[in-house]
Structures are given as C-alpha cells and as structure tokens.
C-alpha cells in the first residue's frame, strides 16, 4: 500500500490511492433511550476485501465474491455512500478512550475511517444521517491486509451462518440507502456551491 501521511500530535492521516476504507454504521435509539449499534467495516486493497461485522466477526474475501453476495454487497455500497473520504484512514497516535465511550469494542483500536452514520431514533420516530462519526475503528492495522490470507471456506461458512442470525432483516434497506444517497448528493452540492 502506497501512502502519504499528514500528522499532528494526536493523529496521522494516511491517504492511500490504491486502497479504500469505508463503513456502514447504524445507531438505533430505543424507546428506553438505550442504544444499539450495527456496523460493517471494510478495507479494500486490490482484489482483497477485509470486512468486520459487529457481533459476527471478520473475514477476508475477494472483491468478486463480495459482489456476488447480495447482502454484503448492499452494506459495502452503503458504506461507500456514507464514507467521507474512502482513500483516507486515520491512526490515533495517542490512545484516547473517547471513541470507546459506548464500549463498542473489546480491545484497544487505533485505526479509523471518517464516515457518516445513520441514526434510527425509534423513541422520537426520526431517521437521519449524521455527517461525522468517530466510532468506526478497525480491529487490524490496515497495512497488514497486504499479507493476510483469504478466509477459508469453512470459516467463511461459519461467518455467513452467524451473519444470518444478526442481519437478515431487509426492512430498512431502501430507506437507509436513500438516506445515504441524499447525504452524498448534499456533499456534492455543497462542494459545487463552494466552487461557485
């Protein structure tokens, strides 16, 4: 992976022209004001795609295989619409527990992508895209993907079986996709307005 790095005392911003970093992150606010989180984190490098799904696990599959799986392709496409800069990954130089405020992860994580999130507030009956989300942290160092092996058939089968029990509902797919598409359209319009 070829990168350029811009750093300050807290973060290093790695821009990679030959890799993509994206995330589809949904925060659900329940009637009792508790939160539920669902996320799909992706790193694509050439034909390899690393994917981590909350409460399911992580796999490395080929891009072609991702494209053939209707559900995983949906979340991948959604992640591309929500991500603000798909060629940049941010490295925390100094560990901060702020991102782990809601205890999303069981371990310390240092690498994140800058993405928007979808908030489904059941209590207030609202659904919106929040343009910045600092909770999408990868479990791996993205540079390690270069040497990672593809997930075995057996492990991929186990991943898919676990996935079915957590993410089989399609009720919100069109709504989430349309929200993310509107978000992306607004970003493009804002950039266009700045030029004029």
Residue 21 pLDDT exceeds 80: yes
Pick from 1-5, 108-112, 182-186 the range whose average pLDDT is largest. Answer: 108-112
CB 112 within 8 A of CB 99: yes
Instruction: Report the alpha-carbon distance of residue 184 to residue 82 in Å, rounded.
Output: 7
Provide the pLDDT for residue 23.
Answer: 94
Instruction: Report the alpha-carbon distance of residue 102 to residue 78 in Å, rounded.
Output: 23
Query: 38: which residues sit within 8 A by CB, 6+ positions away?
Result: 25, 26, 28, 54, 166, 167
Residue 149 pLDDT exceeds 80: yes
Q: Residue 65: in which H helix or E strand, if any?
A: helix 63-68
Stretch 92-100: mean pLDDT: 64
* Percent share of the chain, pLDDT over 70: 90
CB 83 within 8 A of CB 115: yes
CB 180 within 8 A of CB 117: no
């Amino acid at each position: 992976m070829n990168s350029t790095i811009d750093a300050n005392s807290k973060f290093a911003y790695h821009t990679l022209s030959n890799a993509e970093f994206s995330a589809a992150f949904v925060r659900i606010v329940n009637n009792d004001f508790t939160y539920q989180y669902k996320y799909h984190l992706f790193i694509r490098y050439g034909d390899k795609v690393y994917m981590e799904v909350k409460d399911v696990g992580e796999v490395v599959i080929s891009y072609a295989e991702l494209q053939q799986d209707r559900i995983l392709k949906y979340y991948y496409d959604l992640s591309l619409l929500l991500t603000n800069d798909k060629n940049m990954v941010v490295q925390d130089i100094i560990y901060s527990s702020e991102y782990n405020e809601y205890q999303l992860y069981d371990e310390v994580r240092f690498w994140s992508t800058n993405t928007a999130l979808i908030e489904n507030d059941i209590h207030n009956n609202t659904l919106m895209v929040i343009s910045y989300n600092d909770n999408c942290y990868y479990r791996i160092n993205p540079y390690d993907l270069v040497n990672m092996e593809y997930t075995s058939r057996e492990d991929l089968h186990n991943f898919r079986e676990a996935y079915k029990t957590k993410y089989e509902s399609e009720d919100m797919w069109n709504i989430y996709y349309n929200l993310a598409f509107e978000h992306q359209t607004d970003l493009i319009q804002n950039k266009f307005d700045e030029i004029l």
